[in-house]
Amino acid sequence: MNLYRQEYTIDSNMQFLSKKHRSLLIWFTGLSGSGKSTIANQLYNKLYSLGVHAYALDGDNLRLGLNSDLGFSESDRIENIRRVGEVSNLMLDAGIVTLASFVSPLKSHRSMVKSIVGKENFFEVFISTPLEECERRDTKGLFAKARKGQLDYFPGINSPYEKPENPSIEINTLESTVEESVDRILQLILPTIAINS
């Protein structure tokens, strides 16, 4: 392949100085219905109110656009996460704090993203809400379909979900409110993205 990386005058450090903070990928993982998107949305709002340049990537939203050509087979799931990792990497380079909410059920999926963006830029939030509670909520009706055999490869029912071994933070929504969860995450990430003056 005759491909060569194009270098630009404006680099990520200049982006950080312009925005007055560093970038970071905040990766939310957990079962469907665990509360990933809800917490990410509130964190997004909070970061915005603090003047932090941030953007949220959500699994359903990307599958309606960029990844609309992908299904839910194992190979498609891997490609889905790979693309999200690459998009996240571009956003980090632009100096944007990026919030990504994806079930990403396998450790290998999350390791792939970490290798794309660099482990120093990867902050993993494990929403460890129990399966029974996720299934009770079933806001999208997905668990019911999976139980009836209408959905293949559904994590927690007919496909595995591998819990993170050492997440940056673990949150159980039965034990913490959305506000408490957001505050806990903020306490950890704000020092990380701060630029020493």
The catalytic site residues sit at 104
Determine whether 51 is exposed, middle or buried from the number of CB atoms within 10 Å of its CB (0-12, 13-18, 19+): exposed
The position carrying tokens 């806001």 is 139
Quick count: other Cβ atoms within 10 Å of Cβ 187?
10
Write out the H or E segment, with its range, that includes residue 157.
none
Q: How far is residue 19's CA from residue 92's CA, in Å, rounded to a whole number?
A: 12
Structure tokens at 129: 């809400």
Q: Is 165 helix (H, G, I), strand (E, B) or coil?
A: coil
* Cβ–Cβ under 8 Å, residues 89 and 117: yes
Sign, CA torsion 110/116/118/122: negative
**Rounded to 5°, angle at Cα 169 from 194 and 141:** 120
